[in-house]
């Protein structure tokens, strides 16, 4: 991926058909730039077995990652969240339509990045997202940011309003 697209591009009508993403939190920062088609599932990094997150990658939280984080005591969870907070990422995505833990919603607010959610399984979502982002240069050439904004504006406002009035 030689170009970059805003995270907003993941909510375009074309992307919606493939990725089925909805914004959960952090709509104010939906214009964060995605600069790589590489993603990261942070599983082993969350456990402390590996040390380095790859900066600037979308982090994908599947069932295993969310389950692990939810199983931690507050004492064990805090250092993991601090590590996540220090790592730059254009956005986080939770797969399988899982309920978003409050600590993850709070984290994205502190990081000032969007949190997105999809009903797709992690493996299917990663495959589709990678292909979509690899084609992003073509997408950027064909579709201006203004068109993406117009196309997605009403859906984003609706999502943000729903989020603000309902619980995670």
The pLDDT tens digits of the residues spanning 60-102 come to 999 999 999 999 999 999 999 998 998 889 999 999 999 999 9
**pTM summary value:** 0.81
* In the predicted structure, residue 154 carries a pLDDT above the cut 80: no
Mean pLDDT of 115-130: 97
Q: How far apart are CA 120 and CA 19, in angstroms?
A: 8
Identify the pLDDT of residue 139: 52
DSSP string over 19-68: H--EEEE-GGGTTPEE--S-EE--HHHHHTS---PPTTPEEEE-HHHHHH
14 and 5 Cβ atoms separated by less than 8 Å:
no
| Residues constituting the chain | 168
User: What backbone phi and psi angles, to 5 degrees, belong to 143?
Assistant: -120, 125
Identify the pLDDT of residue 1: 54
Q: How confident is the model at residue 44 (pLDDT cuts 50, 70, 90)?
A: confident
User: What backbone phi and psi angles, to 5 degrees, belong to 93?
Assistant: -130, 130
CA dihedral 58, 130, 97, 15 (to 10 degrees): 100
């Amino acid at each position: 991926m030689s170009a970059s697209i805003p995270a907003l591009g993941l909510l375009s009508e074309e992307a919606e058909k493939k990725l089925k993403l909805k914004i959960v939190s952090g709509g104010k920062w939906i214009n964060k730039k995605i600069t790589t088609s590489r993603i990261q599932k942070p599983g082993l990094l969350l456990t402390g077995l590996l040390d380095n997150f790859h900066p600037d990658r979308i982090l994908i939280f599947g069932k295993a990652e969310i389950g692990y984080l939810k199983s931690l005591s507050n004492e064990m969870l805090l250092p993991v969240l601090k590590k996540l907070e220090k790592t730059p990422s254009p956005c986080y995505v939770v797969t399988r339509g899982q309920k978003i833990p409050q600590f993850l919603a709070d984290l994205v607010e502190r990081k000032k990045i969007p949190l997105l959610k999809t009903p797709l399984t992690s493996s299917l979502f990663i495959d589709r997202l990678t292909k979509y982002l690899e084609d992003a240069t073509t997408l950027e050439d064909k579709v201006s940011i203004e068109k993406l904004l117009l196309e997605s504006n009403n859906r984003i406002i609706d999502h943000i309003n729903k989020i603000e009035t309902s619980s995670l």
